Amino acid sequence: MFGLGLRPPFYEQAIRGKVAVDWFELISENFMVDGGKPRAVLDAVCEHYPVALHGVSLNLGGTDPLDEEYLDRLGKLIDCCEPLRVSDHLCWTRHGGHHLHDLLPLPYTRDTVAHVATRIRQVQDRLKRQILIENVSSYAEYAHSEMSEWEFLNAVAEQADCLILLDINNVLVSAHNHGFDAYCYLRALPAQRVQQIHLAGHSVSGPLLIDTHDHPVSDPVWTLYQLALQHLGAVPTMIERDDAIPSLDELLAELDIARRIRAREPAA
């Protein structure tokens, strides 16, 4: 039930099946190549562990047509590693054929809900499976939003009949940046749809928190994690670390904190 995001410094240990995790999450785009080292790593890791695929370029909230070639590659990757879960983000990442390689914010309107839900349904039909959508950190909110972020997330998941990847650090970061109650957010989520949890660290930049994945999981995130488990029950959980990556032992020790919190929860 506890995993880690697979990053290059851990490839060697993961290939040999020597890491004490139940599963790894792989960034889909890193393995959309024809061969060589990335493919060898993929094959070897899949021999030892179940994996989840996590994408960053599906552009679910964009207005450009869905990228057929990208979906083809994702489909092939799914065939090749039979992932536990396939996820991407509730955001937009591309416009006018240009990829911005960032998770950009959407206005929380009824029109956007319908737009994104339709695209998610298209993806799910194409991949013949439900996908998980992740809440992103945001630094700006649109003046014409008609609902809260959690109402938006729930409405999209409901209309698309998709699952949710809850990033607790992203909830904390956005709650801080926009001044909403993170606990309120967690309590509003439909427990049956939340199938995976991300934990990560952030950094502080003046009045804003930034989702940098370059610090250990913060204490407020651990507190929220505990609250989330009370509401959601046992959900597969992992830590994302993308910068200032510590030793594997350090990350595994952090994952143990999650395990201990879970063990204390009667709901688990």
| Sign for the pseudo-dihedral over CA of 228, 106, 113, 151 | positive
Applying CB under 8 A, among 115, 129, 187, 259 the residue interacting with other proteins is 115
For residue 99, state whether it binds other proteins (rule: CB under 8 A): yes
User: Contact between 89 and Fe ion (CB under 5 A)?
Assistant: no
Which of 16, 18, 76, 95 lies at the binding interface for other proteins (CB under 8 A)?
A: 95
Residue 125 in the binding site for other proteins (CB under 8 A): no
Exposed (0-12), middle (13-18) or buried (19+): which is 37, by Cβ within 10 Å? Answer: exposed
Q: Say how many Å lie between the first and final Cα of the chain, rounded.
A: 11
7's tokens: 């990053």
The two three-digit tokens of residue 141, written as one number: 């909110």
Which helix (H) or strand (E) element contains residue 3? Answer: strand 2-5
> Half-sphere exposure (CA, 13 Å, Cβ side) for 28?
25
The Cα 68–Cα 220 span in angstroms is: 40
- Angle, alpha carbons 238-242-246 (nearest 5°): 85
Query: Which positions from 196 through 225 interact with Fe ion, judged by CB under 5 A?
Result: 198
Is 75 an interacting residue with respect to other proteins (CB under 8 A)?
no
Residue 201 or 236 having the CB closest to other proteins: 201
CA distances from 196 to 56, 90, 91, 132, 228 (A): 16, 15, 18, 8, 11
Q: Closer to other proteins by CB, 65 or 266: give it.
A: 65
- Cα–Cα distance between 212 and 228 in angstroms, integer? 22
Nearer to Fe ion, 87 or 154 (CB): 87
The residue count for binding other proteins (CB under 8 A) is 51
Residue 141 makes contact with other proteins by CB under 8 A: yes
Residue closer to other proteins (CB basis): 176 or 259: 176
Q: Which of residues 44-73 bind other proteins (CB under 8 A)?
A: 57, 59, 61-63, 67, 70
Give residue 62's identity as a one-letter amino acid code.
Answer: G
> Do the Cβ atoms of 6 and 26 come closer than 8 Å?
yes
Q: Among residues 53, 77, 90, 104, which is the contact residue for other proteins, using CB under 8 A?
A: 104
Q: Is 78 in the site for other proteins (CB under 8 A)?
A: no
Instruction: Tell me which stretch binds Fe ion (CB under 5 A): 7-15, 39-47, 156-164, 191-199.
Output: 191-199
Of other proteins, Fe ion, none, which one sits near residue 94, judging by CB under 5 to 8 A according to partner kind?
A: other proteins
Footprint on residues 221-260 left by other proteins (CB under 8 A): none
DSSP H or E run through 14:
helix 11-15
Residues that bind other proteins (CB under 8 A): 29-30, 32-40, 57, 59, 61-63, 67, 70, 92-102, 104, 106-107, 109, 111-112, 115, 139-145, 177-179, 205-208, 210
Residues that bind Fe ion (CB under 5 A): 167, 198
